[in-house]
Amino acid sequence: MKRILFAACMVAASATGVFAAAPPAPNAPPQITARHDVFYVGGHYEDDHGKMVMVGQMFVEGITPAHLTHPYPLVLIHGLAQTAVNWMETPDGREGWAEWFAQHGWRVYMVDQPARGRSAWNPNLQGAVSAVPVDLIEKLFTDPQANPVWAQAKLHTQWPGTGVAGDPTFDQFYASQVPSLPNGPSETLMQQAGAALLDKIGPAILVTHSQAGAFGWLIADARPKLVRAIVALEPLGPPYKDAIFQTGHDRPWGLTDVPLTYDPPVTDQSAISFAQQDKPDGPDLAACWSQASPPRKLPNLGGFPVLVASTQASYHAVYDHCTARYLKQAGVNVDFQRLADHGITGNGHMMMLEKNNLQIAAYLDTWLTQHIH
């Protein structure tokens, strides 16, 4: 991260401990970062055709600010085809969220999902990965207003540049896209690695985006006592059945492809039953799927606040309210917010990279400060 200034004197600290920074020298430049950590968590050894290798490990990069003012760190978890680069800087060279939150007193951890980016991928043991083509990136993220597939797409104004291949900002963004495993294998790997990360760093706030929405629920399910909040930015959804794309796909556990803990428990003889709304909550919205009555609870997600945030122009504007509805029905303390209701307009799905990205960061900072005690 080119803007981050490292302290002249490193502090004596662990990834989890309280630190005490040495006083700056006279006339020294302002210190943003007191410590920069790079490490791996999780992973186990397996036999790969007679050779012992490690699989499932996850790369983590941490920033501890010189002036730490918040008690719990933020764990920033990227979505499909992405890496931690999403949080570091925008593709047109502006300040990213990791630096902004560090400047505002938050310790920040960024990850590359297992089998993604700087986390090793083993095709023999973890299966095939696939890339997202240019036209789909344009349609979903950077230029949805050109040929709107969902009604809200016409409101998209915040992507920096034309949003099509050949534009320097788009090309920089597309260069950062990497092949990914399917959702199911990714969810299993991230639950294991995310639990290992919380075991190392202690209680934290999970900030998830897109595909990572499922990871947040699963990590919290595995380590409910180590999660202080979840900020779910347009999380994977909607519950059970997709609403716009791949409409035949089902999430058999409601929010995820792999098991979550429900009460009463889900068994082979007693599966989760789903029911769809007779009509949507409003124009240009999806009709939501929820649990059929009586609903099971999600006991491991009920002990902390959850924010589900949706932008004005993303395809998630069609159905993120369904995710919040499902969580509330299952006993989760969820707050659903449309950013446009707070004067943050024109955004698509990649909000952390768009022209008003720091306005959104400031809104999240305020929400967390109000809800974390």
Check if 180 is active-site. no
Q: Which residue's entry shows tokens 């299966």?
A: 127
Q: Which residues pair with 111 in a beta bridge?
A: 60
What separation in angstroms does the CA of 332 have from each of 65, 160, 308, 347, 368? 32, 36, 12, 27, 17
Retrieve residue 290's tokens: 């929820």
Q: Which of 119, 186, 210, 314 is catalytic?
A: 210
Q: Which residue's entry shows tokens 């969220």?
A: 97
Say how far residue 351 (Cα) sits from the centre of its chain: 12
Q: Are 363 and 357 in contact (CB under 8 A)?
A: no
Helix boundaries (H) for 163-317: 168-175, 183-201, 212-222
Q: Is 47 exposed, middle or buried (0-12, 13-18, 19+ CB in 10 A)?
A: exposed
Residues annotated as part of the active site = 210
